[in-house]
Amino acid sequence: MSSPTLSHQSRTHLERSPGFVMGVLNTAGSTILAVSLLSSAVVAGSLVGLAISFRNLPDVRLLQGYIPSETTHIYDIKGTPLASLHSEENREVVPLDDISPQLKRAVLAIEDSNFYEHGGVNPVGIARATLVNIRSGRTVEGASTLTQQLAKNLFLSPEQAITRKLSEAVLALRMEKVFEKDEILEKYLNQVYWGHNTYGVETAAESYFNKSAADLTLGEAAMMAGIIQAPEAFSPFVDFEVAKRRQEIVLNRMLELGWITASEAEVARNETLQLGQITSFTRSRSPFVTNTVVQELTDRFGQEALMRGGLRVQTTVDINMQEAAERTVQEWHQILYSQGVYADQMALVAVDPRTHFVKAIVGGVDKNKTEFNRATQAIRQPGSAFKPFVFYTAFASGQYAPDSSIDDSPVSFDDGSYERYVPQNYDRTFAGTMSIRAALAQSRNIPAITLGQRVGLEKVIDVCRVMGIKSPMPPVISLPLGSVDLTPLEMAAAYATFASNGWQSPTTAIAQVTDSSGRLLLDNTPKPQLVLDPWAAAALNQTMTSVITEGTGRSANIGRQAAGKTGTTSSERDIWFVGHVPQLSVAVWAGNDDYTRIGQGATGGGFMAPVWADFMRQALRDQPVEYFKPASNFTRPASQ
């Protein structure tokens, strides 16, 4: 059993005045001491017998490796808080030294003033509570020590049964033999429930007073200690006057014990308290970012670690760029509607080609109405925005260059059905012989279909897989026209690989993950690998600049060199613009969740290119102008 005298470390935590120890020793009157002397031997002897009987109780030594559930926190790339995730327990664990001495004193004063004197069960407290309850004719004071409360919270059910109380006492005795007093106090303060789904002193302090537990004043500490017994009923968020009365009870108890002076108590009573807000289950600042990150974290660490593991997640997202993306989507949704484009939803994804870090991700028009993330969860046909994958494959074959000729004339193919497949251009005309550059700039369908047949659709699919596209991709003849379902994230990430001349790291929304103590669990520092032919990628970038300078994407002109491609499905269900500069690749999409048409004549060039340009101007406002490396800087691949 621990010594009844205070250790030097304990005094460091608790002592404020010479009356502290004397206050502890004088907590019971002579009547209580007399009763306790008679009952101590009986209680102690009975508990020794119980300790033998309760052999099936949990082994308290398991607590030596016990890690309580903690809240996971998500931040942007610069450390701005975005979201907190937890299951039923919102908790942040802190060491005892990071808890205000005022709070330690206040809690011990009201919950267990003899904590450093008893060995887990307090006969003096039992006797005092018995007398008080007898005088009151009802139960008004409990006799459980802080150690017993911890044992109950960790190991036992809340049922009010004699067997539970006896088990609680036995576990408390065992815990006192395994752990130092300060260890028990630290575990208790990090475990205790403080109301509103808030567990542990740090999270409670942040919620009630918007500050760390280390910075609590005496007035704040007394109020927090006072609400432990019935945290929802005594909460200042529920009834501030009740919380003030509980504060007064704690201050009077501390004064009675000699742990504070009368002047300190008076200052605490009159202190102006600035309340915080309920922090459990608060909404993410950027739900679409959180949605994306949660999926990655769950795949890597599992749901249990995510919701209870106290992870510290630094995302790759820049909150300023994210908020600019959200504003862009909301504003342009209204503009497009006024222009006759009846698309209920939009998505925008920005990826840094140098790192493949996701910088912004918006999966819908209103983040407060739904967290269904169309940027990552909705697969839609990209239309002609898919053509660059075909053109790159042609360039990588060594048989074609941007100025190579291609024929835009009527063609038909046997697709295995009873009718031959006869592709058409969007305007139902044919341009005859033209350069590949012009064919892409003008988004001609026939040249794309022809190139797909010549280089092989399986090779096009292989290129897509190398670039990280995982969505199903059947090798149908119309594949070059985008008859495949992809996500905006896949499109933005793939174009980012074009922008970097073929260098690629795994696309991610997470920069790093640590545990609550700072131990690194995941480091996504980019490790780029060359996955595409540099000449072919540079040739493609050169070709796609023509889309903006003289083709279907003129509305995407942002006053600096950029490459991109419009996308419009023949059914007018999806419109796209995907484009990039060396520093940023962005995909924007609009459509309806029920796949209905969005409007007669709606095209990616006419309506999505301006959205892309607006966002890019905001995102690149402080970024220097950079240029794509010309194909002449690289060696052209040999003809295959």
User: Which of these ranges, 181-190, 497-506, 616-625, has the smallest mean pLDDT?
Assistant: 181-190
pLDDT at 54: 54
pLDDT at 62: 55
Contact assessment for residue 113 and residue 4, using Cβ atoms and an 8 Å cutoff: no
- Give the residue with greater pLDDT, 571 vs 185: 185
Among this protein's residues, is 384 annotated catalytic?
A: yes
pLDDT-derived band at 168, boundaries 50, 70, 90: confident
pLDDT at 286: 86
pLDDT in tens, 24-80: 334 434 434 444 444 444 444 455 544 444 555 555 565 555 566 777 889 999 999
* Cβ neighbours of 130 (radius 10 Å): 16
| Alpha carbons 556 and 569: distance in angstroms, whole number | 19
* Cβ neighbours of 423 (radius 10 Å): 17
Q: Which of 36, 235, 286, 384 is catalytic?
A: 384
pLDDT at 72: 84
pLDDT-derived band at 157, boundaries 50, 70, 90: low
| Alpha carbons 104 and 93: distance in angstroms, whole number | 15
pLDDT at 123: 75
Contact assessment for residue 522 and residue 423, using Cβ atoms and an 8 Å cutoff: no
Give me the percent of the chain exceeding a pLDDT of 70: 81
| Alpha carbons 167 and 188: distance in angstroms, whole number | 18
User: Per mean pLDDT, which of 163-172, 374-383, 491-500 is the most reliable?
Assistant: 491-500
pLDDT in tens, 425-452: 888 999 999 999 999 999 999 999 999 9
pLDDT at 134: 66
Q: Show the tokens assigned to 498.
A: 């074009």
pLDDT at 294: 84
pLDDT at 109: 93
pLDDT at 66: 56
pLDDT at 12: 41
Amino acid at 88: E
Q: Which of 70, 89, 111, 206 is catalytic?
A: 111
pLDDT in tens, 92-130: 888 999 999 999 999 999 998 889 988 888 877 666 666
* Cβ neighbours of 435 (radius 10 Å): 17
Domains along the sequence of the chain with CATH: 8-62+92-270 (1.10.3810.10), 320-625 (3.40.710.10)
pLDDT at 427: 87
pLDDT in tens, 276-299: 877 665 667 888 998 899 889 888
| Beta strands 574-581 and 563-568, pairing class | antiparallel
pLDDT-derived band at 355, boundaries 50, 70, 90: very high
Cβ burial, residue 15 (10 Å; 0-12/13-18/19+): middle
Residue 155 has pLDDT above 80, yes or no: no
564: three-class secondary structure by DSSP:
strand
Q: What is the mean pLDDT of the chain?
A: 85
**Three-state secondary structure readout of 56-117:** CCCCHHHHHHCCCCECEEEECCCCCEEEEECCCCEECCCCHHHCCHHHHHHHHHHHCCCCCC
pLDDT at 169: 80
Average pLDDT over residues 481-494: 96
Residue 141 has pLDDT above 80, yes or no: no
pLDDT in tens, 189-243: 988 888 777 788 998 998 899 999 999 999 999 999 999 988 878 989 888 999 9
pLDDT at 20: 40
pLDDT-derived band at 15, boundaries 50, 70, 90: very low
pLDDT at 151: 77
pLDDT at 159: 53
Average pLDDT over residues 265-276: 93
